[in-house]
Structure 1
């Protein structure tokens, strides 16, 4: 269990985390989402005792992290997968961590095999790809067989097989009754991993709900439309004029947001276009995230022609 009460962090005049209160219970995967600069990593650092809160408190299993007698046996964490001495082998990196926490050699071998690095145990960490570094960071987090896991962008750099693996691993760990907190910008992947989502913007909570509830909270009608002949150019124009958004998919279909099937069908009939498909769509996590955090984005690119 992780619990924050009024957690606040200031850096001079900058309010990085603003009065956060939340509970992260065992037995589920909790996703921690927010735009760049929203305070996710700062919050994780305060949970782990790396930053001191300006106000409020955060505890793990009822205790401050710094008061845990053998932290690695209770909390496994990965904030920066590259935080490894580059000349140490994967095995020696984990062995040093294990010895400092009273963990035996057999556990080092076990986690290397678990993350798929047993064949690279004697390889220097500085030569690892980003995906391999991520696996080593996850191995370090699992070294003490902890009941709580805190992972910052654990899927970053993983290939499709790695994404499938990390999804199954985290689901299994939560199924064993562990507390799992992870941040990620891979939003579609989070739909498959996270049971619950906490979304923050500029240090404040924007949403705290189950993944299912959060997706259902976006009631904007979305419909996938296929036109029998052509690409539906006139229908696209009519949809936009009616105040909706339209996006052409890779296969030529239209994704219309803001109008229901009945209204789209009427517009198509008025324009003389035959529709072969009208399928209502559920909002994606990416769309829901953009709706929730649009007002909190600090760094926004401007679309336009490249010169």
Structure 2
């Protein structure tokens, strides 16, 4: 378990993390979301003891990170894929980490095989592609077989096979009862991987919910029904009289507030020909954008 209580971090006049409190429970993948500059990386660094909080606490398994006798056996992390010394081989990088945490050398071979780098064990880290560097970072996180894992953008640089592999691996860790905190900007992957979400903006907690509840609550108008008909304008008026909200295009309608079966029944009753009737679920991306629109620090011009 990871527990944050009133965690705050100031850099001079800049308030990077502001009185942040939440719990990451075992057995679930917790997605950690926020716009650029929201304070996600700073928060993860404080959990790992790399940055000292200005106030508040961050504990792993009930202890501050520096109090853990063998940290890699308690918490594995991937914050920066390029953390390995470029002139050190993959095997030597992991071996030195194992030795500092009193782990057997045999564990190095195990994790290299697990992440698909067994054949590259003797290659220097500086020769690795971005995707191979990610795999080496994941191997380091798994080295101590820890009950807690923190991962920042783990799919960065991976090919489609690698993305599927890491998604399956992460889901498997949680199924084993491990605590997983996952940060990513890829909403499609987060929707497939996470069980619950913690969302921050400008250093403050702005939402914490199961992923289905989050999408339902924050996706603006919510689920819609796509309707294609040659009588779009007249059918839109009939839908609105029945209580639906309708966005009208040349030959299509986006309907909210009415289910697809009800739209179909109304069309049949009115004799309106339908070329398409498709329910569209609100997406995690739509929910995230709606929730964080006022918390974006670095936004593109519109």
Q: Note whether the superposition's TM-score is higher than 0.5.
A: yes
My pick for the range that moved more, 133-142 or 210-219, is 210-219
What is the rounded CA distance, in whole Å, between the counterparts of 2:198 and 2:161 in structure 1? 27
The verdict on how the C-alpha distance between 1:291 and 1:255 changes in structure 2, with shifts beyond 3 A counting, is farther
1:214-271 C-alpha deviation (Å, 9 max, x unpaired):
1121361443535356xx9979x999xx9866899xxxx9683756468988xx99xx
Q: CA deviation at 1:54?
A: 0.7
Note the aligned Cα RMSD (angstroms): 3.0
The verdict on how the C-alpha distance between 1:128 and 1:255 changes in structure 2, with shifts beyond 3 A counting, is farther
Show the 5 A alignment for 1:46-125. Answer: 46-125=46-125
Structure 1 gaps of 5+ residues are: none
Q: CA deviation at 1:275?
A: 2.9
**2:228 matched residue in structure 1:** 227
What is the rounded CA distance, in whole Å, between the counterparts of 2:253 and 2:195 in structure 1? 27
**1:286 matched residue in structure 2:** 285
**2:254 matched residue in structure 1:** 256
The verdict on how the C-alpha distance between 1:145 and 1:246 changes in structure 2, with shifts beyond 3 A counting, is farther
Contact map agreement 2:134 2:156 (CA 8 A) in 1: yes
- Counterpart check, 1:7 vs 2:7: yes
Q: CA deviation at 1:112?
A: 0.5
With normalisation by structure 1, the TM-score equals 0.86
Show the 5 A alignment for 1:116-195. Answer: 116-195=116-195
Partner SS state of residue 122, structure 2: coil
The verdict on how the C-alpha distance between 1:222 and 1:195 changes in structure 2, with shifts beyond 3 A counting, is closer
With normalisation by structure 2, the TM-score equals 0.87
What is the rounded CA distance, in whole Å, between the counterparts of 1:24 and 1:45 in structure 2? 15
1:33-71 C-alpha deviation (Å, 9 max, x unpaired):
000000000000000011111111111111100011111
Aligned residues: 293
Structure 2 gaps of 5+ residues are: none
The verdict on how the C-alpha distance between 1:299 and 1:228 changes in structure 2, with shifts beyond 3 A counting, is same
What is the rounded CA distance, in whole Å, between the counterparts of 1:89 and 1:254 in structure 2? 58
The list of structure 1 runs, each at least 4 consecutive aligned residues, that deviate by more than 4 angstroms after superposition, is: 232-235, 242-248, 257-265
Contact map agreement 1:6 1:20 (CA 8 A) in 2: yes
